Amino acid sequence: MVAPMDITFLGTGSAQPSATRNHQAMALRLDGDIWLFDCGEATQHQFQKSKLKMGKVTRIFITHMHGDHCFGLAPVLCSMTDNLNPANAPTEDSDDDKVPVDIYGPTPLRSWLRNTLKSTYSNVGRSYRVHELLLQDDPVDTNSDLHPNELPGQNIFLVNGAFDLPLYASTEKGYRVQAAPILHSIPSLGYVIREPDWPGKVNGLVPLIKQNMVALKKLGISNPMSLLGQIQRTNAPYDLPDGQRLEPPPMRPGREVVILGDTKDPSPILPLTHSPTLLIHEATNALTSLDKDKEGNYTMTLEEVEARTKDHGHSTPQMAAAFAKSIGCKTLILTHFSARYRGDEESESLAVMEEIRRLATDVFDQRAQDIYCARDLWSYEIKME
């Protein structure tokens, strides 16, 4: 059985939050855990409005140090590990309370979080550690003078254009996360999350087993259909009594999710991607009907909008779609919208967001039905192909 995977957008706004869009945070549910990507201010409030349990967060990935992506980190860390809160308390059969929370991001995330927790006399109910992804000239934090709940984190350096992140137990299960620096007004990261390949479907083998049902039972196999599970587990062929062979079906490639921080050009991450299942890309500004005057004429050109957007280190829907096309992703979700673009269900808001979506689909028309604009608290199921 392929494990479900989904992502919930806890915040989809950019620098200025609005009544309808909180600051950035995305909760990726996989392997029974929540991996949180960015943690803007009030992310813990958004958790409480969602069906997700903060206590399930095992990893937090920060894309960059702009406040709209990390101001909520210390409060979430304190709340998610608050064992007095029954919603977050580990169940008896879990060892959640012993596993440290792993946090990843650029410098100076580690010292900033440490100073914030220390300055506010905050205790964290679980241990945590911060792994910093360092560029060549970045200062190296030596893990000295730790917060009482802090464990030493790893310093990870760029090798051949990629950061390989330590995942501990998840690595043993075959998960892999890489990151690369992408272009923004300050150092920013994109993450590539890959799950292991899954055993192929064995339905096609059922008739062969049925043909050998009696002979297999005579051999002492009381439930011959259990061979299906055995073949999936071992990935080894099985010779049937009538001379036919049960061949394990080819493995199904695991899902790949690419989550980008703010960017005007994410091309350095391109070599790490393999036609991902899902790309999440910012689209902060766009040229829409909101930019028309009373006579219905645009007050600026697309070139002007794009130039201004790039000046601030951001992207338009067309830029996001062009990148999505270049990496051949199956699904594109746009997020990190300017406060001008409301994220509620009013017909005017929906119409503007559909305009923005269409600007992207015009560029990446092969996947037009697989392009979405995120809204706060919206969940998207990431299906296997």
Which residues are known catalytic residues? 68
Alpha carbons 38 and 60: distance in angstroms, whole number: 7
Q: What are phi and psi of 132, to 5 degrees?
A: -100, 135
Residue among 68 and 256 whose Cβ is closer to Zn ion: 68
Residue among 146 and 339 whose Cβ is closer to Zn ion: 339
Residue among 11 and 199 whose Cβ is closer to Zn ion: 11
Residue 65's closest CA among 12, 4, 112?
112
- For 214, the token pair is 């009696």
HEC assignment per residue over 20-63: CCCCCEEEEEECCEEEEECCCCCHHHHHHHCCCCHHHEEEEECC
Alpha carbons 332 and 371: distance in angstroms, whole number: 5
Q: Is 68 in the site for Zn ion (CB under 5 A)?
A: yes
What crossing angle do the helices spanning 317-327 and 302-311 adopt, rounded to 10°? 80
Candidate residues 29, 66, 114, 129; the one interacting with Zn ion per rule CB under 5 A: 66
Report 243-272 residues binding Zn ion (CB under 5 A): 262
Q: Which stretch binds Zn ion (CB under 5 A): 61-69, 130-138, 158-166, 195-203?
A: 61-69
DSSP state of 233: H
Residue among 68 and 96 whose Cβ is closer to Zn ion: 68
- End-to-end Cα separation, the chain, in angstroms: 14
Which residues of the chain form contacts with Zn ion (CB under 5 A)? 66, 68, 262
